[in-house]
Structure 1
Amino acid sequence: MKTLTGNQQLVKQINKTLVLETILHEAPISRADISQKVGLNKGTVSSLVNELLEDQLIYESGPGQSSGGRRPVILLFNDKAGFSIGIDLGVNYILGVLTDLRGNIIVEVNKKLTVRSYEVVIEILQSVISDLINAAPQSHYGIVGIGIGVPGLVNNHGEVLVAPNLGWKNINLREEIENCFDIPVLIENEANAGAYGEKLYGAGKENDNILYISAGIGIGVGIILNGKLFYGMNGFSGEAGHMIVQVNGKDCTCGSSGCWELYASEKALLEEARKLKLTGITEETLSIELLLELANSGNEDIINLFHSIGMYLGVGINNIINIFNPEQVIIGNRLTMAKDWLEKSIEKFIKNHTMKYHQKDLIISFSKHAYYSAAIGVSAQMIDQFLNNAVSILDAQ
């Protein structure tokens, strides 16, 4: 029977979490090194480590190097104690990944979407999740969570308020998926998920003030300020794809006109390509992959089209740089495939139009994980949620 008071229990949970995080980020590490790093006495650390071993969140790997006395036992984080699922629910695809507890991709499933009705998409989404669950190796904790990145406004209850490019409104996606699989679910804006993935595992690891540009069928922006995702008052920050860059411009599905994503997205690229009436290319075969093949083979019309898309990406990036003065801008999602044809146009526009003070020390990068950023980012959010909850839940048992 536990005899700790509430305050004692809370202190223990905080210390146990601290020890676990130290092993997660510093392993391989010994008990003595943990004690030195976190400032807890060796007896307390040893007791907490023994509990984490029983919880199977860590394991011993054998003796390490001796500094004069007994050789210390080395501790490692058990990244195979459970697995997480991350889903990037795009407008024309569903990308699902199964990761271990360090975010390493174990299995991936990619489905092309040719329809956008909720009933059909949710059926495909459930199929992708089922495939990933069935592919997961045996583990102590099984699937710890399912994270889903969605191109739209998401509230704190997991409801998709509006996803203009999908034509969805007021969809309680979290409730539906949790009821189907009985596993904790997080619904996140896909640009926020991509920003988190790049900050944790990708091009943004070294910086704390980052703008992540998710350039796919639409455009979203994930904002990281002082190392943390910035959500705004109601969680709706980052809808820069609907920033107006052309007065009296093209009509947008959001209800406005002249929005950035109408000129700088994958959708804009494909629409402009249709106007070229390319020989032998049908609506079914037209894709960014095909356009890249044409550009790489020297088609000047397509090369110029990519340059135009890059220029318009630069227009929007310039605007948000001038607002946020970030350390780094990371461009992600499907348009990263066209990096070689976009990069110079983006950099040229920013060099010529962004305030010089903002350009000083600014890093402009393409995503390290290309179009995987959102999927691994939202998977990582579920891992964090699991690890943050695991200590308190296990201690209460």
Structure 2
Amino acid sequence: MKMTGDLNLVKKINKSIVLELLQKQSPISRASLAKLTGLTKATVSTLVAELMEENLLYEIGTGESSGGRKPVMLVFRQDAGYAIGVDLGVNYIHAVLTDLKGEIIHEVRRGLKGGASQETVLRELKGCLRTLIAAAPESPYGIVGIGVGVPGITDHQGSVLFAPNLGWRNVPLQRLLEEEFRMPVTIDNEANAGAVGEREFGAGRGVSNLIYISIGIGIGTGIILKNELYRGTSGYSGEMGHISIQADGKPCRCGNIGCWELYASENALLEEASSLLPEDRKELEELVKLAEAGSPEATALFERAGYYLGVGITNIINIFNPELIIIGNRFAHAERFLGAAVRRVIDTRSLPYHREKLRLEFAGLGSRSCVAGASSFAVSRFFADRRISVDYSV
């Protein structure tokens, strides 16, 4: 029995390697798969046949010959199923329907009033999900799962333990959604989802060590070290919006004082800009428009936010020595007015050896980093019973 179990495990590992390569490098031939994996051609052919039976790949025409018969090329079937990724913000819900390679098929956005009740938020979230489920094309696997990024601390059971800006504590979000929609649901911190989204599809592709900083109503960070999402001992890492940058500063809803997000978040910026904006349009987009129109007051507020953003990022640089820092979420749209101030602070305050090989980028996916990563979580869970996750880079 043990021998059989060992052989099945080896087969699953080999299958996972082949599938990883097909996802990332198709179209690709059987011979190339054998060469890149080190597996025999017979083994690759067997695994490819199984994946074709599972509707996860198909053959297309022949490729270029290297001297013999032209090889038949294989393509990963990205439309074999679809996934939903959700960014559950404090004042918005942003959700997308993607195929199995993360390409967006349909997208919905809904605004939320600040301080909306849990019941209201859940009702709006379920409405977004129903819209996307109805929009999914027919496919062999249908909707394979839902991923949701939330601005707070989550556990392995998919409960939102603490989301101060939402006003949520101990909300069993995964259970509530699975009971409603009867499909797998994955809940994670939205900055973790954003980090994965940028690593897979955005500015972080090919980078092993990066920190994604999600700046919206609050600030969260997703940390990828040596190609792995770092979660900490209990899975709660990344709450850097609540590091203190003012020892005797403002009180925060988390219970601390002087938290970084009280000075460098969208919420902090809009509080400072309150007198500049119309009562019914106190939004980041309106402040950006003022700055674009040449308003010195709006420009000065972005400079101030950039300064405080740079202070917090300097601490991150000095602690982690990352290759890449990515500024994401809604602040990604204000790069023109924030970037210079952030870089100026980093250049003067961070340790020189730490910034020597550092790159600072704004999110390549803009405000879609979280939804892309959340969808990726759902797809990964779908494949979990078909493969074992293996980090295989070529």
Report the TM-score when normalising by structure 2: 0.95
Moved over 4 A (4+): none
Tell me the matched-pair count.
Answer: 385
Output the CA distance in 2 between the equivalents of 1:15 and 1:162.
Answer: 40
Residue 194 of structure 2 contacts residue 212 of structure 2 at CA under 8 Å; is this kept in 1? yes
The residue identity in structure 2 corresponding to 1:40 is: L
Question: In the aligned structure 2, how far is the partner of 1:364 from the partner of 1:291?
Answer: 23
For residues 262 and 379 of structure 1, the distance between their equivalents in structure 2, rounded to whole angstroms, comes to 30
Contact (CA 8 Å) 2:33, 2:44: kept in 1 or not?
yes
Asked if the contact 1:250–1:258 (Cα under 8 Å) also holds between the matched residues in 2, the reply is yes
Structure 1, 251-260 or 63-72: larger mean CA deviation: 63-72
Paired with 1:255 and 1:377, the residues of 2 have a C-alpha distance of: 29
Query: Residue 56 of structure 1 aligns to which amino acid in structure 2?
Result: N
Deviation at 1:353, TM superposition (A): 0.7
Partner in structure 2 of residue 370 of structure 1: 366
- The whole-number CA distance in structure 2 between the counterparts of 1:70 and 1:219 is 56
- Residues 322 and 355, structure 1, Cα contact 8 Å, conserved in 2: yes
Q: In the alignment, what sits opposite 2:357?
A: 361
Residue 296 in structure 1 maps to residue 292 in structure 2: yes
Rounded to whole Å, the distance in 2 between the matches of 1:312 and 1:132 is 38
1:287 shift after superposition? 0.7
> Are 1:125 and 2:121 matched, yes or no?
no
**Pairs within 5 Å for 1:90-169:** 90-114=89-113, 115-169=115-169
Give distance in 2, aligned partners of 1:8 and 1:356: 51
Q: Which residue of 1 aligns with 2:237?
A: 237
CA distance in 1, matches of 2:307, 2:387: 49
Conservation of the 8 A alpha-carbon contact between 1:100 and 1:106 = yes
| Separation in 2, partners of 1:315, 1:201 | 28
Letter in 2 for 1:109: V
Instruction: State the match for 1:278 in structure 2.
Output: 276
Q: What is the letter of the counterpart of residue 298 of structure 2?
A: I
Residues 308-387 of structure 1 mapped to structure 2, 5 A cutoff:
308-387=304-383
Matched residue SS, 1:286: coil
How many angstroms does 1:61 deviate by?
Answer: 0.7
Paired amino acid for 1:83: Y
The SS at the match of 1:56 is coil
The equivalent residue for 1:223 is 223
Question: How far, CA to CA, are the matches of 1:218 and 1:24 in structure 2?
Answer: 35
Give, in whole Å, the separation in 1 of the partners of 2:89 and 2:238. 17
| Match of residue 21 from structure 1 | 20
> Using the alignment, how far apart are the partners of 1:204 and 1:305 within structure 2?
29
What is the distance in 2 between the residues matched to 1:227 and 1:169?
31
Q: Any idea what SS the aligned residue of 1:292 has?
A: helix
CA distance in structure 2 between the partners assigned to 1:23 and 1:338 by the alignment: 37
- Say if 2:181 is the partner of 1:181: yes
In structure 1, stretches of 5+ residues that fail to align are 393-397
3-state SS, counterpart of residue 207 of structure 1:
coil
Q: Is contact 2:12–2:386 with CA below 8 Å preserved after alignment?
A: no
Does the CA contact (< 8 Å) of 1:208 and 1:227 recur in 2?
Answer: yes
**How far does residue 14 in structure 1 lie from its aligned partner after superposition?**
1.8
Match of 2:72 in 1: 73
Mapped to 1, the partners of 2:311 and 2:364 lie a distance apart of 23
Q: Does 1:194 align with 2:165?
A: no
Distance 1:385 1:222 in 2: 19
Cα-Cα RMSD: 1.3
Q: Give secondary structure in 2 for the equivalent of 1:131.
A: helix
Q: Note the C-alpha offset of 1:390.
A: 2.6
The answer on whether the counterparts of 1:116 and 1:167 sit within 8 Å (CA) in structure 2 is no
Task: Please state how far the C-alpha of 1:260 moved relative to its aligned partner.
Answer: 0.5
Q: Identity percentage over the alignment?
A: 50
Q: How far off its partner does 1:391 sit? A: 4.7
Q: Distance in 2 between matches of 1:251 and 1:13?
A: 52
Distance 1:157 1:388 in 2: 17
3-state SS in 1 of match to 2:322: coil
| Structure 2 match to 1:395 | none
Separation of aligned partners in 2, 1:335 and 1:22: 34
The corresponding residue for 1:6 is 5
